[in-house]
Every structure is written in C-alpha cells, then in structure tokens.
Amino acid sequence: MINDVKPKPVDLKISGIEPKKLDVSLASGKETLIEFVEIYKGTYGYYMKISCVPVRAGEDDDAQLLTPTRNFSIKEDENGAYGWDVNDETPASLVTLMKKHKVDHPDKLIAKSVKTNVVMNNGKQFLSFV
C-alpha cells in the first residue's frame, strides 16, 4: 500500500536545486505607504508590527515583492490596555516615528509615506523603513 512507503529525506546539498538568492538591497530607497498597524503577543511580550505596501526588489515586472516591516515593543498595563513609552525618543522608537509623521497615535500612521531601507539582524538582511 502507499501508506506503507516511508519518504526518504532529501539532502539538498546534492540535489542540484539551489534556492534563488534574493538581494534585499534592490528594494532599498523606494517610497511606499504604511498599510497595517497590528498588535501581537510574542515570546517576550507584546509588540506592534507596522507593515507597508510591498515593493519590488528590482526594476523588472517579475521582480520579487517584499513587504517592509518594523516591530516595536509595547506594554500591557494592569487594566489590559496596550501602550508605548511616550518618553522614548531614540531614533528607532515608535514615538520618534509618530513625531516624524506628526501623529499622536500609531493607527494614524496608516497611509503615511515612508522610504524603505535595509537593516541587518544576526547577519541577515531585512527590509524596513524610515
């Protein structure tokens, strides 16, 4: 029977199939709009994920689409309300981003124009925005 056949693991090093390498820097410096502001609970607590309209990594019509994102730590108080440190004005903070776009709440960042950039994290490239 088919159910009796056990699949064998494939060693990709000898299969001849190599994943296509993607140069994230090809999407850097492009204008896009903030599309989503969402709150998630992760391993280390709550965070806000801000995502943009995808941009192409290259000029070709078939170039890979990439979604610039940024994550910001947020806190939950004893009443279950979410918030951020209003005194944090470091360059990478949520407060700095909101001040740059002259808004008083993260939800008002939706549809604001941003420019993509590449950030390195643990030796990997990620598409972000400023």
Beta carbons of 84 and 90 less than 8 angstroms apart: no
Report which residue type is found at 20.
K
Per residue of the chain (130 residues), give pLDDT as tens: 455 666 677 666 666 666 677 889 999 999 999 999 999 988 888 899 999 999 999 888 888 899 999 999 888 788 888 888 888 888 888 999 999 999 999 999 999 999 999 999 898 899 999 9
pLDDT value at position 102? 96
**Cα–Cα distance between 104 and 94 in angstroms, integer?**
11
The pTM score is 0.79
The per-residue pLDDT for 103 is 96
Position 10 scores a pLDDT of: 65
For residue 37, the cross-strand partners are 50
Res 1: pLDDT: 46
Find all residues with CB under 8 Å of 65, minimum gap 6, and list them: 54, 55, 56, 57
E-strand spans in the chain? 31-42, 45-52, 55-56, 65-66, 69-73, 75-76, 82-83, 113-121, 124-129
85 burial level (CB within 10 Å; 0-12, 13-18, 19+): middle
How long a stretch of residues is the chain? Answer: 130
